[in-house]
């Protein structure tokens, strides 16, 4: 259940209630694709204040597999995480990772990127796997068009995704979910074509879902196009349902999407950048930022592996209160990277995730209305 508490222009503050807890919106989901946030434990994520994690149906279907996940009692128990979990349906990964995939109206057949085994994935099997995982929020199975597709391909994928949305919803409703509060979200498709997006929104609202995601952006289109489409879709979506921007993005993009009325985000950037020594650094205390006019000046990216940090004993980020910044100098973190010490990856990931989670907390306080 989603409760809208207050607004600041189009930006929204609310609460999303799931089987494993109530989440303050807007929020960011660290990505635990295969059942773990890379280099981090579930206890780490709790200590950082993560409200919810995102895992992926495709990867967990391949390993450990549907029957193993059932036998293990679901992902919460398996990974020792007692907070909410959202699962991507696997559609995007089928098209981006699998070899020799073939799409028909019935299903997608593909070869695993791990061992080449042939696997069939349908809206129904995607829902079954997400139920076995114990997802608090399951995503519909969708047909994903590449970012450079023709209008005809975008339209085909959008229309098929609508038909698969109905099948996903029917399958979800018929499964014996152990979590009575499980939610199902649909995905708005249509590329950068506003009329296709409008048709997608109308069709999904007619089916009826617990929330609506904006898919198919942050895949190579211009930032202006992404903003234009996201803004238009937010105008069309029901005000009493949560809105989820899938896979984006840079901190300044998240700020803009929040101001359009988006409630939920996920992105690989904080963890991926961390593993390559690129850190997000506040230029001022986040408590002092006016998000209405923040632009891109509220942070910098620091490449901590650079030689200029070899003797720099300052904290990684003077405006950050994470474990890394409280205990680790720039010189030491650079040293850890230079000797290929795994601790470098963990410390950098802690900082970047703390940055993103603090960004969301600051945005919630800026919008106002309720605490935290």
Q: What is the pTM of this model?
A: 0.96
Do the Cβ atoms of 267 and 249 come closer than 8 Å? yes
Which DSSP string corresponds to 16-72? EEETTEEEEESEEE-B-TTSS-TT--HHHHHHHT---EEEEHHHHHHTT-HHHHHHH
**Chunked in runs of 10, what are the mean pLDDT values of the chain (372 residues)?**
96 97 98 98 98 96 96 97 95 71 88 85 95 96 89 96 97 73 93 98 98 92 95 98 95 98 98 98 97 96 98 98 98 98 98 98 91 59
Phi, psi at 108, each rounded to 5°: -115, 130
pLDDT recorded at residue 114: 84
Q: Which of 57, 53, 1 is nearest to 27 (CA)?
A: 53
What residue ranges define each of the domains in the chain, with the CATH number in brackets? 2-267 (3.20.20.105), 274-367 (no CATH)
pLDDT recorded at residue 101: 76
Count CB atoms within 10 A of the CB of residue 150. Answer: 11
What whole-number distance in Å separates Cα of residue 280 and Cα of residue 285?
13
Contacts 24+ apart (CB under 8 A), 199-203: 199/158, 200/158, 200/161, 200/162, 201/233, 201/236, 201/237, 202/236, 203/162, 203/165
Q: Which of 216, 189, 193, 217 is nearest to 204 (CA)?
A: 189
What six digits make up the tokens of 352?
Answer: 């970047």
| DSSP label of 292 | G
Q: Starting at the edge strand that comes first in sequence, how are the strands of the sheet with 118-121 ordered?
A: 99-103, 108-111, 118-121
Residue 327: exposed, middle, or buried by beta-carbon count in 10 A (0-12, 13-18, 19+)? Answer: exposed
What six digits make up the tokens of 148?
Answer: 């450079």
* C-alpha 182, offset from chain centre: 18
What whole-number distance in Å separates Cα of residue 352 and Cα of residue 323?
11
pLDDT recorded at residue 179: 45
pLDDT recorded at residue 177: 58
| DSSP label of 329 | B
- In order of 110, 180, 271, 285, the CA distances from 89 in angstroms are 15, 19, 21, 37
pLDDT recorded at residue 127: 95
Q: Which of 234, 227, 275, 284 is nearest to 250 (CA)?
A: 227
User: Which residue intervals of 211-342 are DSSP H helices?
Assistant: 223-236, 251-260, 269-275, 323-327, 330-338
What whole-number distance in Å separates Cα of residue 121 and Cα of residue 141?
9
- Active-site residue list: 88, 266
Q: Which residues pair with 299 in a beta bridge?
A: 282
Do the Cβ atoms of 35 and 79 come closer than 8 Å? yes
pLDDT recorded at residue 146: 83
């Amino acid at each position: 259940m989603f409760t809208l508490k207050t607004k600041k222009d189009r930006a929204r503050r609310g609460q999303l209630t799931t089987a494993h807890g109530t989440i303050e919106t807007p929020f960011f989901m660290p990505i635990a694709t295969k059942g773990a946030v890379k280099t981090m434990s579930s206890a780490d994520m709790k200590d950082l204040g993560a409200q919810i994690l995102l895992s992926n149906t495709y990867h967990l279907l391949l390993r450990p597999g549907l029957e193993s996940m059932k036998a293990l009692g679901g992902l919460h128990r398996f990974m020792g995480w007692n907070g909410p979990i959202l699962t991507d349906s696997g559609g995007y990964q089928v098209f981006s990772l699998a070899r020799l995939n073939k799409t028909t109206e019935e299903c997608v057949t593909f070869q695993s990127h791990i061992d080449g085994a042939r696997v069939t994935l349908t809206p129904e099997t995607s829902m079954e796997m997400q139920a076995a995982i114990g997802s608090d929020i399951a995503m519909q199975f969708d047909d994903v068009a590449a970012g450079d597709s023709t209008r005809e391909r975008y339209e085909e994928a959008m229309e098929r995704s609508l038909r698969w949305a109905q099948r996903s919803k029917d399958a979800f409703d018929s499964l014996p979910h152990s979590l009575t509060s499980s939610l199902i979200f649909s995905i708005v498709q249509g590329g950068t074509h506003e009329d296709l997006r409008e048709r997608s929104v109308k069709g999904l609202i007619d089916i009826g879902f617990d929330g609506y995601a904006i898919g198919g952006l942050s895949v190579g289109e211009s930032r202006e196009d992404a903003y234009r489409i996201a803004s238009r879709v937010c105008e069309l979506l029901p005000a009493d349902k949560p809105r989820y921007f899938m896979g984006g993005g840079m901190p300044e993009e998240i700020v803009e999407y929040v101001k359009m009325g988006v409630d939920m985000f996920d992105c690989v950037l904080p963890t991926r950048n961390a593993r390559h020594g690129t850190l997000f650094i506040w230029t001022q205390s986040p408590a002092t930022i006016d998000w209405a006019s923040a632009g891109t000046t509220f942070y910098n990216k620091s490449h901590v592996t650079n030689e200029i940090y070899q003797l720099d004993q300052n904290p990684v980020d003077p405006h950050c209160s994470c474990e890394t910044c409280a205990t680790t100098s720039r010189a030491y973190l650079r040293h850890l990277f230079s000797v290929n010490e795994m601790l470098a990856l963990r410390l950098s990931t802690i900082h970047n995730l703390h940055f993103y989670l603090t960004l969301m907390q600051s945005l919630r306080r800026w919008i106002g209305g309720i605490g935290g």
